[in-house]
Amino acid sequence: MTWLVTGGAGYIGSHVVRAMLDAQIPVVVIDDLSTGRAEFIPDSVPLVRGTLLDAELVTTTLREHAVRGVIHIAGYKYAGVSVQRPLHTYEQNVSAMVTLLKAMEDTGADKMVFSSSAATYGTPAVDTVDETTPTHPESPYGETKLIGEWLLRDAGRASGLQHTSLRYFNVVGSGSPDIFDVSPHNLFPLVFDMLLRGETPRINGDDYPTPDGTCVRDYVDVSDLALAHVAAARRLDARQPVERVYNLGSGAGTSVREIMSAIRSVTGIDFEPEITPRRPGDSARIVAAGDLAARDLEWRMRHSLQDMVASAWAARQSAGGHNPT
């Protein structure tokens, strides 16, 4: 049974593709390469270049490759920028998903693992969120991810589509030195690129009610994340019960200052981060419990913070002079 991985040429998607291959599950990729890179995909994997808004392309791909399940990772993922580009965000994350679900219904593909986000929670009122924590998205990006979950819920009721949604927290690290985080907005690549340019990294605010005054976030390794997708796909293939939503979090938090210290240690570049004012809307702490995913999706933390920083740094260095954005 072939699985389609949308966005499979991206940082997270390419890790999922490789994890699926390691599990001997055949895959095909659709990616418009707007942020993904063709070289991230193994030569043995078919790459269909195009947008999910192209209904004919999506339907043809599903039919030609006898796809019965989809891991849907493609989308516009920049929460902050989505505030300035709401229509683009809704088009890429909602309209495209409707097109994909229609094509799946037309071709008999009846399983989906959906890439959702911690952004669905907004700024939680609790120290550690679980799947029962109320959702209050605060950006068009977070809103579109929650709508994606609703689309799956309603499609499942109407057609029997089997599905689950995985809410990511802060995904870092690299499972291979030839795959690096291409986002121009994520903390690790931002800091690495500043160091490589000889600039001083910044911490936005050090007066939060946390142990060291800087924001605390939940960081998980991209390889562990990829393995959870494989486990979810296998459960759906076996028609085993799944939860509608799973948090992929560590249950523990790491402060921005701790991240900076780990980066200083791993890179060997001595620096003292510049302290700048808080960014509007940043919450002091966002950490997730991953108990349900541990129970059903073999979810566990296989990598330490030092491991995650080291693998991410090695991958960024392997990019050489290439700008990851």
Active centre residues (catalytic): 141
What are the two backbone dihedrals, phi and then psi, of residue 146, each rounded to the nearest 5 degrees?
-70, -40
Task: Output the CA torsion sign for 18, 40, 308, 311.
Answer: positive
Structure tokens, 237: 């293939």
Q: Where are the beta strands (DSSP E) in the chain?
A: 2-6, 27-31, 47-49, 67-72, 111-117, 128-129, 162-168, 170-172, 202-204, 216-217, 219-221, 245-248, 254-255, 274-276, 285-288
Distance CA 148, CA 155 (A): 10
Task: Output the CA torsion sign for 178, 71, 304, 262.
Answer: positive
Distance CA 229, CA 77 (A): 18
Adjacent-strand bridge partners of 69: 3
Cβ atoms of 139 and 120 closer than 8 Å = no
Environment class of residue 87 by beta-carbon count within 10 Å: exposed (0-12), middle (13-18) or buried (19+)?
exposed
Distance CA 31, CA 44 (A): 16
